Structure 1
Amino acid sequence: MSKLILIDGNSVAYRAFFALPLLSNSSGLHTNAVFGFTTMLLKLIEEEKPTHFLVAFDAGKVTFRHKGYEDYKGGREKTPPELSEQFPVVKELLRSFGISQFELAGYEADDIIGTMTRLADEKDFPVVVVTGDKDMLQLSSPNVTVALTRKGVSEVERFTPEHIHETYGLKPHQIIDLKGLMGDASDNIPGIPGVGEKTALKLLHQYGSVEEVLARVDEISGKMQEKIREHADSARMSKDLATIYREVPLEIELDTLQYDGYDGHALGAMFRKLEFKSLIEKLELPSAPVSDEPQEELDVYVLYEGRIPGFVKQLEASEVEAVHVEVIGDNPHTAAIVGLSFFTPTGVAYLPGDRLFTASGAPIRRWLGDPDEKKYVYDMHRAEVALAWRQVPLRGVDFDVLIAAYLLDPTESNHALHALAGRFGLPRIAADEDVYGKGAKFKLPELEPLSEHLCRKAALVNRLVPVLRRELEDKEMNRLYFELEKPLAAVLAGMEKTGIRVDGEGLRQLGAELGKTIDKLAETIYGLAGMEFNLNSTKQLGDVLFEKLKLPVVKKTKTGYSTDAEVLEKLEPYHEIVRSILHYRQLAKLQSTYVEGLLKEIRPETGKVHTYYQQTIAATGRLSSQFPNLQNIPIRLEEGRKIRKVFVPTEPGWHILAADYSQIELRVLAHISKDEKLIEAFRNNMDVHTKTAMDVFGVAETEVDANMRRQAKAVNFGIVYGISDYGLSQNLHITRKDAAQFIEQYFSVFQGVRRYMDDIVKQARTNGYVTTLLQRRRYLSDINASNFNLRSFAERTAMNTPIQGTAADIIKLAMVQIAKRMQDAGVRSRMLLQVHDELVFEVPEEELELMRALVPEVMESALALDVPLKVDVNDGVNWYEAK
């Protein structure tokens, strides 16, 4: 059966943006609106099975309606740049889905959709219109169902003519009369002041149309008659403005909108760019491009027990070999080693994983641990961690293909071996999921296909090494690779294997205390509400806040009141119950995510948690932490800080020592921008936020109050992260206009920062990339784009990447240098964690004085800047006391 889906692109993207928290990929591109749009498309395709598809967009801000009423949509706030930058991506997404899109200057998406529904109606063609705009209900007909988005875009309410009558007591065409009487604040349609939906419906049930209401105004009593007389012209104009124009001169016809489904490779490529990994897995899309190069012939030599000694002699006789350790499982600390493959000058060989750990595998284990035997590998960090848990060292790594590929293009989301084959035009190999299956379908294949797959990986590693070496040399990244990232991989593996001890009993006690506090908060909330209810029910909470306590409604949909964090923060000044609810939610998350979550991650055999640092993910060069994520333990709440109490030294009498860079990104900004005021503040050891407040507000140091400093701090860090007026207004709870003025005032004072921002964008336009002080590159493909939103996003990325990336490089450099100094000094102290700008150690009592001197000395001299790097060092019996 034929069916046409018509989507109001601007409306749906807008609702998706505000329904989802700000999300971004590793390139810093915001993706929440795109993600919401994507999930809606997938749901529509699955449930509606459309044969024809079109997404309509507004072509610009000025339409034919503005000719009659200049203030049409005049009350709307400027679209946040975080949303604007996503519209071109949404359109690119539609191309990857194979879905038609259309816009036409002078007309709105509503008019395009209105015209298409008229054409479809004429042919009795079934249509579903998807929108967040109630105006569209006027299009409903026996053939046209209007699906209004609810709960963001995850659910829709379907309006047929029958449902419209059940809901409003109106026919579809009377929706324009409803808007004519009550107006529409979102489009700045005035209507009749004082007439809301309830009154408008009452009038329409009695008179049927705006024209009849005006003609029979004498029958209406009281002040309402006076209002209607006074604003009769406004009602007529409002009805005209709300009427969708259905005669748009379209350049498309129904037949051209045929939809045959999406191409998995095109959609997979788009999802890889956006880093929608969950959707790639859910839809089982290709996880990397396929190379056109044919697979090469391989004669695999399987290493049975008797063959191992002779093969090891062959390895030892060669100068360097590629070895691939196949580690299956997300967490390398618990993953399985299914096999090893080798590429040598005489061919390829395969060793089953279980054979490595038998007596016959001893020669291979010795070779792996021999620092004089040079090896090419893929992901030395992961392999080293997995082998270390089986007491097998990995040493002598001469080159790591994964780290090199990541450095050469950190904006690429997929550095898997099969993806690298496609990227560099080398003989293709199968993706892992094509060999093993995915999710519930995962299964190790038989010996022959498994050994062939892994040997192809080893052969590809060998082929990639000279290619990547040349690239690193050409791009002047050898120092970054050989002196920073490659040695860091070994440092990280050592830290992870060591792990950090967690006091399980203390954690359980903390959980019990949190539970009591949560229960007390609940009782307080019930007392303030005057009743008990389910605090975790949005509906029940909404009823209490808005029906019983009569708090002002911030956001409401057809399904009920919104009680999300943004709404509650706006309601906090109105009633003390709101603060308690916010606190309750924060503590409940602490309990579930960090107390219960950490307890699950403690390894029984060590009593520790062993996080895993991802070194090749973030485009800025920062590390991320998994299994568990120890970089996100909240420290703003005292209850969150207390979680650090359960992180304790392994040995009795030892100390936890924490060293934290002070405002490192702002110090890097001072160095890079050469701004005299920033440099002066840091060289004189001033509080930089107070200094900023003094200069921006034009006051003496003694006149800077807490609010001034808070605002200055927000704008200082906002500048580093390329914040917009919208973002700053959200952080400080001020208007966008005030936020824009604040940013402008900042730049007028810190002119060196503004000069840097201008110069780095020009440099990016010329080169196509920006670099950190250590030559880490980040490519900006959209820096010269004709599309304003794409170009603006690239410009903000150009401004902040050298700052964030250099700060990441500095702490990584410090880690490598500290590890070397500790090894040379022969200390028993151990480096345990890196948490953003902080390093955590465990130290015996007798080494405490040494480490309190060594760690900050190395950290503060890791990289010479025009301003001093400053490190705060503290120690205690646990991580909490070390802060």
Structure 2
Amino acid sequence: MKKLILIDGNSIAYRAFFALPLLNNEKGVYTNAVYGFTTMLLKIIEEEKPTHMMVAFDAGKTTFRHKTYEDYKGGRQKTPPELSEQFALIRELLDAFNITRYEAENYEADDIIGTLAKDAEKDGWDVKVYSGDKDLLQLVSEKVTVALTRKGITSIEAYDEKMIDEKYGLTPKQIIDMKGLMGDSSDNIPGVPGIGEKTAIKLLKEFGTIENVLESVDKISGKKMKEKLEENREQALMSKELATIYLEVPNEMNLQDLSFGEYDSKKVVALFKELDFSSLISKFDEGEAVEKKELENINFDVVTEVKAEYLQNPSAMVVEVLDENYHQATIHGIALVNEKGRYYIPTDVALQSESFIEWAKDEDKKKWVFDAKRAVVALGWQGLLLDGVEFDLLMASYLLDPSLSSHEISDIVKRKGKGEVQEDEAIYGKGAKRSIPNEKELADHLVRKADAIFQLKEIFEEELKENEQLELFKDLEMPLSIVLGRMETTGVKVDTSQLKQMGEDLEERLQALEKHIFEHAGTEFNINSPKQLGEILFDKLGLPAIKKTKTGYSTSADVLEKLAEDHEIIQHILHYRQLGKLNSTYIEGLLKVIYQDTSKIHTRFNQALTQTGRLSSTDPNLQNIPIRLEEGRRIRKAFIPSEKGWKILAADYSQIELRVLAHIAGDDKLIDAFKHDMDIHTKTAMDVFHVNENEVTSSMRRSAKAVNFGIVYGISDYGLSQSLNISRKEAGEFIDRYLQSYPKVKEYMESSISNAREKGFVSTLLYRRRYLPDLTSRNFNKRSFAERTAMNTPIQGSAADIIKKAMIEMARRLESENLESRLLLQVHDELIFEVPEHELEKMLVLVPEVMEQAVTLQVPLKVDVSAGDTWYDAK
């Protein structure tokens, strides 16, 4: 039996967007609508097992219905740009799944769905339509079911003929008449004023159709009702016409074109990785292992004793570590390639060779590598120091184009056509089948990697030079990779007992909150059960039900927050949820990643990941500890110095991105405010609201702060309205006033887009590039995201470059002044050190001095520095 699934793309995307909080990936791309759409799509595929699928989209704002009624869909608020930008990604998602998508000029998605549903029905197929729009209920028949989304997109209500009869007492065709009588504010269909759903249903049960109702006005009781129907006769008939789905949309497809089955899971997984949908990746088998190719022979020597002649200056080197988390990982072999030859050195031979150990740590012996940080850490765990790294192929590739999905050696070699290197997966396999091949095959693979590095070094340096990025590469990213490697190897000590105690304290707090909740509820129940909680809040306590679902009441955070003033129990429940997440995700999560032999956390810093140049950290992500909540901040109490009597010192750049904005835009008001060390948010409130400093209220400052941090990232009226809980109109007016107050900021925003459109890329102060091909795209969504990116990348990227420069200079100063203090972590705009007490006074002066002098801007950089017994106390 053929089963066709038809999805109303616009409707589901809208519902997903407003059901989920704004999410974005590492690159800053909004993804909440895509994520919601994806989860629903996966659920449909799993549960329905369709043979055919199609997703329909609206082609434009104007349809044939506008000829009938010019104001059709008039008054609708403009689609938030945060949503419109995601439609291109949803289309990309569908392409990855090989799901047909379609849109037709002059018609709506409903019309396309209706046409295909009826065609499939004639051929005896089973059809199921997914939408959030009741209009589609008119398509229901013996073979067509319509599934309407409820509670955002997490709950589905499926309508067949019986369900429509039970809910409305009508036939599917009468849904059109109901809409004609009652109208539809969302589509601006007028209907008959004063007639709502109940009245419309009552009239249709008695008379059958709008036409019969209008012909039988004399039989209808109630003078006002008769008058309304008489006065709006033509409007009612027009409304029915507008509400009727057109079932003969011309299209070039036939039903067989909609077949669904095979798709490339690798494409899906690659897209999920790009979108940071890590929780969804595990659902997919990434396909068969990459096949091995026949490569031309390459000559090399397998070394049994490291001789001086092998250790030439310079040499390309590969230190092979396969584990994603390369701390304490096994080194599977080392390869060297230089002017003298190609060599494979078994790990035990290298690690026991004094010649190799001395050569590795000699800064005058130049090494060319792939992923210097990984090599530094892998050798560091074995007690070997690596110095003299002059070239890193990974960082060179990343700097030349950070948007590339892969910077693996095999992919770089393919792009450049130099050498032959198999993909790692072809050599090692994947998943449970992952294994190390025989020594001959392993040696061949590693030597080819080292050979590629040796051949590509000059090519990449020449490209960096042409891009004016050689200085950025050599003076910033290369030394930084070594600094980060040392930081990872050093790690940060954690007081395990204190972390466990925090977990126990949180458990006690949770139990106390549970008791309060039960007292207010008058009974015990499962607080984590939405169904039981809903029954307590809305049935037992009688609180107003804001949202209902098929399975009961909605108890989502946004619903509870709206009820916070209505009953004491709500705040207890919200706090209970926060503490529960804190305990399970962070306390228990951190305890799992403490290295037993060091009592430290050795996070990994991602240097070649984000397109802005920002560093991130994984295993664990120390940038995500929720410090807005006091209980979250307290987790930092467990981060302590590794030496007795030492202190933790924290140094944080103050409003660095706004200072960079003031510099790049050259805005006199902002520059003057920073030079005079004014509170920038108060200053902005003064300028935007035209008040004196003493007249600035906390509400004004909060609004100014939101727009200060949002404006340069292309914040829309929708985004600001969500942040400040005000209307989109108010938010739009605020943004307009801001740009009038700071005309040079507006000028920067416009010029950054036009310059990027002309060049094809934007640059930071230190010439880091981000390419933006979508600036010239005909697709509005892609183009608008690229424009937002053109504005924010120079700001974010320059701030990232500044703190990187400060890290390198700090490492140099610590070494040149023979200080014992160690740089441990970088978290956002903050650097964390551990410091001996006798060096504390010096470091409290040295650290801000170095950080503030990292670069020279038109405004001073400002660093807040403090110290304490723990990371928490240092803030």
TM-score by length of 2: 0.93
Name which of 773, 777, 780 aligns with 2:772: 780
CA distance in 2, matches of 1:314, 1:719: 59
Q: Distance in 1 between matches of 2:181 and 2:567?
A: 35
Map of 1:613 onto structure 2:
605
Return the alpha-carbon distance in structure 2 between the equivalents of residues 286 and 350 of structure 1: 32
Structure 1 partner of 2:439: 447
* Letter of the structure 1 residue corresponding to residue 250 of structure 2: P
Which residues of structure 2 form unaligned runs of 5+?
A: none
Contact 1:182 1:200 in 2 (8 A): yes
Taking a change above 3 Å as real, the CA distance of residues 268 and 641 of structure 1, as seen in their structure-2 partners, is closer
Q: 1:256-271 residue pairs with structure 2 within 5 A? A: 256-259=257-260, 261-263=262-264, 270=271
Change (3 A) 1:649 1:117: same
SS of residue in 2 equivalent to 1:796: helix
Of 312, 315, 322 in structure 1, the residue corresponding to residue 316 of structure 2 is 322
Report the CA distance shift for 1:455/1:143 in structure 2 as closer, same or farther (over 3 A). farther
Q: Report the AA paired with residue 21 of structure 1.
A: P
Indicate the SS of the match to 2:331.
strand
Letter in structure 2 aligned against 1:308: E
Shift of 1:402: 0.7
* Map of 2:833 onto structure 1: 841
**Does the 8 Å CA contact 2:217/2:230 hold for their aligned counterparts?**
no
**Which of 792, 799, 814 is the aligned partner of 1:800?**
792
- Structure 2 CA distance, aligned partners of 1:757 and 1:717? 14
Give the C-alpha shift of residue 868 in structure 1.
Answer: 0.6
Structure 1, gaps ≥5 residues long: none
**How big is each residue's C-alpha offset from its partner over 1:85-122, in whole Å with a ceiling of 9 and x where there is no partner?**
11123234434444333222321100111112222223
Query: Deviation at 1:638?
Result: 1.7
Q: Say if 1:338 and 1:354, in contact at 8 Å, map to a contact too.
A: no
Aligned equivalent of 2:739: 747
- In structure 2, the residue matched to 1:247 is 248
Q: CA shift at 1:7, angstroms?
A: 2.1
Whichever residue aligns with residue 748 of structure 2, its letter is Y
Residue identity over aligned pairs, in percent, reads: 57
Superposition pairs for residues 177-192 of structure 1, below 5 Å?
Answer: 177-190=177-190
Deviation of residue 198 (structure 1)?
6.1
Comparing 572-581 and 391-400, the one that deviates more: 572-581
Correspondence for 2:700: 708
Q: Structure 2: which amino acid aligns with 1:806?
A: S
- The corresponding residue for 2:661 is 669
The answer to whether the 8 Å contact 1:614/1:623 transfers is yes
- Sort the Cα spacing of 1:160 and 1:789 in 2 relative to 1 into closer, same or farther, 3 A: same
Deviation, structure 1 residue 614: 0.7
Quickly say closer, same or farther: Cα 1:46–1:580, change in 2 above 3 A.
closer
Matches of 1:208 and 1:452, distance apart in 2: 80
- Residue of 309, 325, 331 corresponding to 1:331: 325
Compute the displacement of 1:129 (Å).
2.3
Task: Please give the per-residue CA displacement for 1:607-629, whole angstroms capped at 9, x wherever unaligned.
Answer: 22121111111111111011221
Q: Once the 2 structures are TM-superposed, how far is the Cα of residue 511 of structure 1 from its aligned partner?
A: 2.1
- What are the residue-to-residue correspondences of 1:508-519 with 2, within 5 Å? 508-519=500-511
CA RMSD of aligned residues (A): 3.0
Q: Which residue of 1 aligns with 2:30?
A: 30
Counterpart of 1:849, as a letter, is: E
Q: Distance in 1 between matches of 2:826 and 2:350?
A: 32
State the match for 2:126 in structure 1. 126
In 1, Cα distance between the equivalents of 2:601 and 2:138?
A: 59
Question: Is the aligned partner of 1:340 residue 2:340?
Answer: no
More divergent stretch after superposition (275-284 vs 495-504)? 275-284
Q: 1:219 to 1:412 in 2, by over 3 A?
A: same
The 5-angstrom pairing of residues 371-450 of structure 1 reads 371-450=363-442
In 2, Cα distance between the equivalents of 1:719 and 1:619?
20
Find the counterpart in structure 1 of residue 7 from structure 2. 7
> Which of 854, 858, 874 is matched with 2:866 structurally?
874
> What SS does structure 2 have at the residue aligned with 1:878?
coil
Q: Distance in 1 between matches of 2:406 and 2:210?
A: 59
CA distance in structure 2 between the aligned counterparts of 1:266 and 1:638, rounded to whole angstroms = 42
> How many residues are matched?
874
Counterpart residue type for residue 253 of structure 1: N
In 2 relative to 1, CA 558–428 (structure 1 residues): closer, same or farther, beyond 3 Å? farther
Instruction: Give the 3-state SS of the residue equivalent to 1:508 in structure 2.
Output: helix
Cα offset, 1:263, TM superposition: 4.4
- Match of 2:317, SS? strand
Q: Report deviation, 1:538.
A: 2.2
TM-fit CA distance, 1:678:
0.3
Amino acid at match of 1:330: E
Q: Secondary structure at the match of 2:186?
A: helix
Tell me whether 1:505 sits opposite 2:497 in the alignment: yes
- CA distance 1:224–1:585, shift in 2 (3 Å): farther
Larger deviation: 685-694 or 57-66? 57-66
Task: Output one character per residue of 1:526-579: Cα deviation in whole Å (capped at 9) or x when no partner.
Answer: 344444332222223333444444545444443444333333334434444333
Q: State the Cα distance separating 1:748 from its structure 2 match.
A: 0.2
Q: Distance in 1 between matches of 2:503 and 2:196?
A: 50
Q: Which amino acid aligns with 1:12?
A: I
Distance, in Å, in 1 between the alignment partners of 2:729 and 2:231 is 32
Which moved further from structure 2: 550-559 or 674-683? 550-559
Residues 596-646 of structure 1: CA deviation (Å, up to 9, x unaligned) = 222222222222212111111111111101122111222212222222222
Provide the C-alpha distance between the structure 2 equivalents of 1:126 and 1:695, rounded to a whole number of angstroms: 63
Instruction: Look up the match of 1:468.
Output: 460
Pair 421,551 (structure 1): closer, same or farther in 2 beyond 3 Å: farther
CA contact (8 A) 1:218 1:225 kept: no
- Corresponding residue SS for 1:349: strand
Alignment of 1:476-625 (within 5 A): 476-625=468-617
The separation in 1 between residues aligned to 2:63 and 2:538, in whole angstroms, is: 38
Q: What is the one-letter code of the residue matched to 1:792?
A: S
- Separation (CA, whole Å) in 1 of partners of 2:289 and 2:243: 47
Residue number among 682, 687, 691 corresponding to 1:690 in the alignment: 682
1:24 partner letter = N
> What residue number does 1:109 align with?
109
Find the residue that maps to 1:774 and give its secondary structure: coil
Equivalent residue of 2:825, what SS?
strand
